[in-house]
Amino acid sequence: MPHTGHVIRSSAPDRPDRRPSPTRRRLGALVAVAVTGVLATTTACTSVGASGQAGASASSPATTSAPQPSAKPGSEAASGTRPGTGTARAVLATLPVKGRAAMTGYSRDEFGPAWKDVDHNGCDTRNDILGRDLDGVTFKAGTHDCIVLTGTLPDPYSGRSIAFTRGQTTSSAVQIDHVVPLGDAWRTGAQLLSAATRELLANDPLNLLAVDGPLNGQKSDGDAATWLPPSKAVRCGYVARQVAVKQRYHLWVTTSEKAAITRILDTCPTQRVPVGGLTGAKVVTQKGASGSTSTAAPSSSAKGSTTTHPAVAAPVSAYDCPSWAPIKGNASSHVYHLPTGASYDVTRPETCFATEAAAQADGYRAAAR
């Protein structure tokens, strides 16, 4: 059956199968920088754009409520009151406040293969972000402008200009930061998301910035209460991006995290959340789409009482699913395998489903055999 779930739509105006030229990619950023130079004040808190440069002054009055066009996905100004838009303070107020969950079960693998091409434009996510955020980019010949060889990063976290050269000993100078770190995401609700949704979270351009490598290592998986960019000018935009990501993927904030974000946003009350990235991402939790309760057939406990299981579950081993959710889902191919299928025994499940309907609701299609 056709694949209907997890429809991803880039906010960029260019065709997804054709990367914009370096000139087109930089045009919107140059215009934004020119406007910033006119509007910025010494006390304004500026925003972190997808390019990593400071955006328009947060204290400057808005001249229109319509989103402004941008050549770089994830950097558009937000407006209105729809989910993913509005002031960062207003969106922060909608996020649940809970304690940190345990890190039990966490690993990078829980968020899928690193830098998967989730938007299906032919380029892996790391090179997409390098091509978006670096200036003066050159690409490896024959890769359809996918593999970035060189460029210059206007680092958002330090304010320095960093030369990038692809290579075994040089690539680490510029790293791709998860603005909401995956470890923090796991502690604040991501462990309740389906494997496919966590994969989107890890590759969503809204949650990614090219940054100074050592600073990214220093940040580790810290939230706003434990780490902020050294450049105070971009802290408003930085925490606003964290708020936008947590809203999109139904994550919560801790009391200390909310207090830290609030202190920053108090200096820039009109700071808006960024939009863009994987705007069509479908959030599916272990209890079904968007947190709705979706259940499988009940099973009997030892005392004869009835227990209802969720429709989606984590595998119990590399090749095995729970008995009440026997359908194996392969997140890399978005194919699910039934117990009677020819390839069932050799399939490594990344998520398990109780019913075919649950698999299909999560964007999976039946195996051909």
- What pLDDT does 292 receive? 35
Cβ atoms within 10 Å of 108's Cβ, excluding its own: 11
Q: Does one domain contain both 80 and 196? A: yes
Structure confidence at residue 209 (pLDDT):
98
- pLDDT, position 85: 60
CB atoms under 10 Å from CB of 2, counted, come to 4
Counted residue by residue, the chain has a size of: 369
Would 27 be classed as within a structural domain? yes
Tell me: do 169 and 249 sit in the same domain.
yes
What is the domain range of residue 230?
22-265
Position 130, amino acid: L
pTM here is: 0.61
- How far apart are alpha carbons 252 and 257 in whole angstroms? 10
How buried is 205 (Cβ within 10 angstroms: 0-12 exposed, 13-18 middle, 19+ buried)? buried
pLDDT at 49: 58
Do 232 and 108 belong together in one domain? Answer: yes
Q: Please return the burial class of 137, using the count of CB atoms within 10 Å of its CB with bins 0-12, 13-18 and 19+.
A: buried
- Looking at the structure of the chain, the number of domains it has is 2
Question: By C-alpha distance, which of 45, 143, 51, 119 is closest to 89?
Answer: 45
For residues 75 and 206, membership in a common domain is answered with: yes
Residues 6+ apart with CB under 8 A from 88: 236, 239, 240, 243, 244, 261, 265, 271, 272, 273
The helix or strand, by DSSP H or E, that contains position 88, with its residue range, turns out to be helix 88-92
365-366 sheet: strands from edge to edge: 312-313, 351-353, 327-330, 335-337, 365-366
**Are 186 and 330 within one domain?**
no
What are the phi and psi torsion angles at 233 (to 5°)? -65, -20
Q: What pLDDT is recorded for position 347? A: 86
Answer yes or no: do 64 and 198 share one domain: yes
As a whole number of angstroms, the distance between CA 151 and CA 153 comes to 7
Same domain flag for 31 and 113 = yes
Residue 281 lies in a domain: no
350 falls within a domain = yes
Instruction: Transcribe 178-239 into DSSP letters.
Output: ESS-HHHHHHTTGGGB-HHHHHHHHH-GGGEEEEEHHHHHHHTT--TTT---S-GGGHHHHH
CA gap 197, 347 in Å, rounded:
20
Q: Is residue 275 part of a domain?
A: no
CB 5 within 8 A of CB 356: no
Return d(Cα 281, Cα 329) in angstroms, integer: 18
CA proximity to 166, closest of 122, 209, 126, 108: 126
Residues in the chain with pLDDT values less than 70: 1-85, 286-309, 369
Give 120: exposed, middle or buried? Use CB within 10 Å, 0-12, 13-18, 19+: exposed
* The predicted structure's pLDDT at residue 165: 97
Residue 109 and residue 173 in one domain: yes
Flag whether 95 is in a domain: yes
- Residue 48 pairs in a beta bridge with 54
Three-state DSSP state, 77: coil
Query: What pLDDT, on a 0 to 100 scale, did the predictor assign at position 356?
Result: 86
pLDDT of residue 8: 43
Which residue has 């994987």 as its token pair?
278
Domain boundary among 235, 265, 295: 265
Same domain? For 82 and 112 the reply is yes
* 354 lies in the same domain as 250: no
Are both 165 and 294 inside the same structural domain?
Answer: no
Contact predicate 173/162, CB 8 Å: yes
> 164 and 233 share a domain?
yes
Q: Would 16 be classed as within a structural domain?
A: no
Q: Is residue 7 part of a domain?
A: no
Single-letter amino acid code for the residue at 369? R
> Would you say residue 279 lies in a domain?
no
